[in-house]
Structure 1
Amino acid sequence: MDVPLSPWTTELFGKQALAVRSGLGQAFRNMQANAQAVQEQADVRTNHPFGSARWAGQFERVYEELRDLPGAKPVKPHRFPFELMLVGRGLIYPFLYSKTRSDVLTARVPSHSEMVRALFTFAPPPTSIQGAFDFEFAATPEELAVELRGGLTTVPPDTCLVLVPFACNSSELLEAHWGIAAHGADDTLDWVAGPEELPLPASVTFHGKRLSSIPAQPGAPTLEHTSFDQGDTPTLTLSSRSNVDRTLNVTPLTEAEPAKPQTNENDATN
């Protein structure tokens, strides 16, 4: 059953709202499959390969799914390795909020990095100035202001930050949501719109060429001239013994006797 779009999604994304929602769900499905494949190929006892691939994939796969939408624009924050997608008036920021199935309302501000603080300048005003981002004392709005740098300087001022929290682990993709939230007290998120669950497709799609299976290994024809017991049998030159050697009972030789090493030039005459 199709889930109707909420008014805030069409307000921000316009006619692309449904495509954005579908693209985000597909992006997370592809992210999970890609990260699990990396973990399997690494064949190690830790989940580090999955975590690294998942972190990169949460941005790269979203970029792949949304980049061709009309009006979509990639935005690269200052000193951030990936691009965030701006569609219409919505600036999309995905982040992992849990590794188990849990209440998305418990999701907290992803981090205190300069970039996240800059992103929240496009969110609704915080509900509490004191304690925001763990400042020890109350601060004025001017003191809390963050300088926008990099690609964020090109984002229109009427843009709204759209948070996309998701939960997954190395075994499965659990759930994903999206919505608009302000920074609340104690790093909580005060949701203004949502969070709404994102439909997650069952199938995986890929864009471009990727290593999805181990290439076929060389078969017998390829190895014909590389194996020690394969190839043509060498031709041997045979010669018979002379009648004199047979009469004198001389032992047949298969190899020439090695020359005796000479320690000085006088040995040559001995």
Structure 2
Amino acid sequence: MENLKNKVWFVTGASKGLGLTLVKRLLNDGYQVAATSRSKQSLIEAISNTTENFLPLEVELTNEKSIKDVVVETLKHFNTIDILVNNAGYGQIGTVEELRDEEVRNNYDVNVFGLLNVTRQVLPHLRAKQSGHIFNISSIGGFVGGFAAWGIYCSTKFAVAGLTEALAVEVKPFGVNVTLVYPGYFRTNFLSKDSVLAPRNPIDEYLEARQSQIAHQNEIDGNQPGDPNKAIDVLIQMSKEQNPPLHLFLGQDAYDISKNKLEEVSKELEHWKSYTLSTGF
């Protein structure tokens, strides 16, 4: 039987959403958890656990020194890291035209470069011990980008998907597993006002984008079909698999949307095949 206390999880973005649900479940199941957030106090209040199994950490994901410090602190406290969950991120609503450079770069800084920074600091330890598992939390929006007002957010998650596929190949020789997670809509606070940002300068002509924004903030929020506890069940089970999947879709909506895209791409690939193959010497 697996000795749970020997498994150490390092989870970013742990004060809310799927990260919070995951950390609570892990601690309840007997795992050791290092959890990060921008505010250590909010993390302590959200988790309400004072055992030695729980190490709350305050970190600035866009600052590599800050990340290095908490990784060192984790290794000092638990002696190891077995499973890394890059969960931190936030939603940015806005069309490609209306979002300012600062809004776009901020979303990339957290969703992409924050994930990269954490991964780079944890990988030397996993590589040295020749084992481990990295979960990179993307989104169904990292596989399908056709959502009005979500182009920039989706592009950050597409970036996560691309770098994760490469990462999986790079670290496989060291016995490190990598899983790219594409969640659909889960009933967390992801769509709440403090988790998703609206454009500072909306352009009224983008009617579909405004309708999408209103729907997400007023109708979809609180009515998402996915159960976060069941998503966590899957993640924990995947951490126990000897050969876990690289691509993991979570939710009926994620399954349906991704399957539709695969069918559309396949259809277009075949329809325009003669042009595709006409470009060789």
Give me the TM-score of the superposition, normalised by structure 1. 0.26
More helix by share: 2
Which structure has the greater CA radius of gyration?
Answer: 1
